[in-house]
Structure 1
Amino acid sequence: MDAELVALASSAATTVVGLLATDGWEQAKVGVAALWRRARPEQAETVEAELVAARTGVLTARQAGDDGAEAALTAEWCDRLRHFLAADPARARELRALLAELSPPSPAAGRAGRVEMHGTGSDNARIYMSGGDMHITGP
């Protein structure tokens, strides 16, 4: 199998398993199941059920601080996606499209547009600026 497809499978597995513990898990589940439904319809329901079970596993592992369990699930899905792509390398296009759909826009990739911020403070002022999440602790 070509190195590009292996890298794609790895990236997809990391993204999908990572999303299982977030609000984006349903979109990931539906997207992966749709891939299977188009390629191997007889396996689609099983794949969807396995993603639901994987979500439970990821949530439990994160609560327990068990990084190994999440890494094992990622490796399992990587292997599954590698086999999926090996059967028909043309499926890579669909998997890339799903990844683009699941991945948030990245300013570094130039997809989010330009963000420009200016702040002016004086005396004892504090200025906090963020283009994303910000958590401030302290006085």
Structure 2
Amino acid sequence: MDPQITELARVAGTTMVTLMATHTWEAARDGVVSLWQRFQPDRADAVGEDFDATRQELLAAREQGDGDSEAELVAEWQVRVRRLLTAQPDVAVELRAILDELAPRIPTVDPAAVTLNAHVSGSGRVYQAGRDQHISER
């Protein structure tokens, strides 16, 4: 497998699923469907329906805090894009253009924001830090 195709499929699948949970999901859907319409028109409608279904699954997974399901959805779209790229290598140019157009719409995580959670029972201890931590116990 061509490493460039694999990487492009990874980025595309991750980007698509990430955007499914944002207010710009329709633009991502339109880009994906247009890509399939151009290169595999017989599959375009099904891809659009799958995009919508994946979005519903993703929103439900996020609501339930189900990271495993979200990761599976990302992997599913990565495979789908990789198959398209393998069958139609010319897709890569247009896919990159779509990703470049959608990139500014990807939500960014504030690097200064830190969320820590811990659950301890019995005589357990938790040490959490957003940066360096030094513990001296005797």
When normalised by structure 2's length, the TM-score is: 0.75
Higher relative contact order (CA 8 A, sep 6+): 2
Equivalent in the alignment of 2:70: 70
Cα deviations across residues 7-33 of structure 1 (Å, max 9, x unaligned)?
000000000000001011000101000
Equivalent in the alignment of 1:5: 5
Distance 2:61 2:44 in 1: 25
1:33-52 superposed matches below 5 A:
33-52=33-52
Equivalent in the alignment of 1:54: 54
**How many equivalent pairs are there?**
109
Letter in 1 for 2:39: A
Equivalent in the alignment of 1:79: 79
Q: Which runs of 4+ in 1 moved over 3 A?
A: none
Letter in 1 for 2:84: F
Equivalent in the alignment of 1:25: 25
1:95-106 superposed matches below 5 A:
95-104=95-104
Cα deviations across residues 52-96 of structure 1 (Å, max 9, x unaligned)?
000000100000000011100000010010000001212100110
Letter in 1 for 2:86: A
> Which consecutive unaligned segments of at least 5 residues does structure 2 have?
114-138
Distance 2:97 2:8 in 1: 11
Letter in 1 for 2:23: D
Equivalent in the alignment of 2:125: none
RMSD: 1.9
Q: Percent identity?
A: 45
Distance 2:24 2:69 in 1: 20
